[in-house]
Amino acid sequence: MRPIAERTGRHCLLLPSNRLGLYLALRHWCEPGQRLLMSPISADEILFLVLAAGLRPVIAPLSPRDGNIDAARVDLSRVDAVLTTNLYGLPDQVAAFTGKILVEDVAHAMETDVGGRPLGTFGQAGVFSLSKHPGAGSGGVLAVEDAADLKALERARDRLLEPGSFRAELFAVATSMARQAALRLDLVRPALWLMRALGLQEEREGYRIRLEAEALARALPQAPSLPPFDPWVRADLHDYRAARGPLARWYQRRRLAAVPRERARRLAGVELLAALPSAAPAVRDDPGRPLFRVPLLVRDRDAAIAALERRGVATGYLYDPPYDDYAGPFTEPSPDPGPARRWARHVLPVDPVHASRALPVVAGLTPA
């Protein structure tokens, strides 16, 4: 879409989801069997996309400063490619991965720069999400430097697309609009109650998708094919491969256009939360980033989540346990899983746009 193309100076491919874009990028630039370095703390479906691409996930040690890959403790000679996370908008150490195939997951970092250069422009591909900062409910954008790569990726996308339906599209747009209205009107508590009553979180055990290890082991020999991994990759977004029509594209453009207008409020919220002793070190060191979420590291995270919900602040984007404990047999484990376990257990991501609503709760939390 135009704002992302203008920001990155790259060719952009519109997609039904960020997750489809990551799979396309991994298949385009990596060969099956190659070893991919990735963070131990990331969204569940990302791991399954890596497996679907036929790659071997190599779990990196985690930096306690920002929850991303601790690049100083990685032997890059042992991996073929790197997938960054840019957790909550805090940037990975992208300069450390020069010379490797680099795919940037920019879902949380649409507005993050490094040295004045936007994330999504350091690697072979940057994959953006239209459901995070824009809040469009779904949609992704794959940004690449070369027009020939764009054409090849477009053909690969079209082979994987499934037919969409106007009825499903209308429902998705209406649901996203309702979610935005609930946030504005302080109706988060009844919205969460309704989701739980309708069983809309049944695909998860705690904060993770159910692994179903035996079924996953049966799917692995079918890589690098995406459809056999749909039962895992589609969690929370069953139409992640469905073609979108004019209504969805109109809504995505509308929500994307609103991102710059929210920037000042987002920055003010980051500054407010960065002053807390529980803020992650990287947030305290640079409170001038328009983060997607501000990670706090607190002693009793689950009690804090409940207290925030009572004030109408929903907490999401929790990746607990880390991959070593969640899917160890399907990965090459981290040499030091301790920092990732600590982050996964204690991190509390707070939306800076609603920082003033959250502050009465989070200001009194004990740092981990």
Taking only the tens place, the pLDDT of each residue in 33-91 is 999 999 999 999 999 999 999 999 999 999 999 999 999 999 999 999 999 999 999 99
Which residues are within 8 A (CB) of 210 and not within 5 positions of it... i.e. 6 or more apart?
203, 204
Answer for the pair 10, 126: CB distance below 8 angstroms, yes or no.
yes
Quick count: other Cβ atoms within 10 Å of Cβ 150? 17
Residue 173's pLDDT is 83
Residue 36 bridge partners (DSSP):
57, 81
What is the torsional sign of CA 18, 22, 28, 29? positive
Residue 178's pLDDT is 76
Answer for the pair 38, 51: CB distance below 8 angstroms, yes or no.
no
Residue 202's pLDDT is 57
Distance CA 156, CA 154 (A): 5
Residue 170's pLDDT is 85
Distance CA 242, CA 171 (A): 14
- Residue 11 DSSP class: E
pLDDT under 50 in the chain at which residues?
197-198
Number of residues in the chain: 368
Residue 199's pLDDT is 52
pLDDT digits (tens, 9 = 90+) for 328-364: 999 999 999 999 999 999 999 999 999 999 999 999 9
Report the predicted TM-score, pTM, of the whole model to 2 decimal places.
Answer: 0.94
The amino acid at residue 190 is P
Which residues are within 8 A (CB) of 336 and not within 5 positions of it... i.e. 6 or more apart?
61, 73
Which residues are within 8 A (CB) of 226 and not within 5 positions of it... i.e. 6 or more apart?
23, 49, 52, 160, 233, 241
Distance CA 290, CA 302 (A): 26
Structure tokens at 267: 């920055």
Distance CA 273, CA 351 (A): 10
Structural domains of the chain, with CATH: 1-258 (3.40.640.10), 259-362 (3.90.1150.10)
H-assigned helices in 56-198: 147-160, 166-184, 188-197
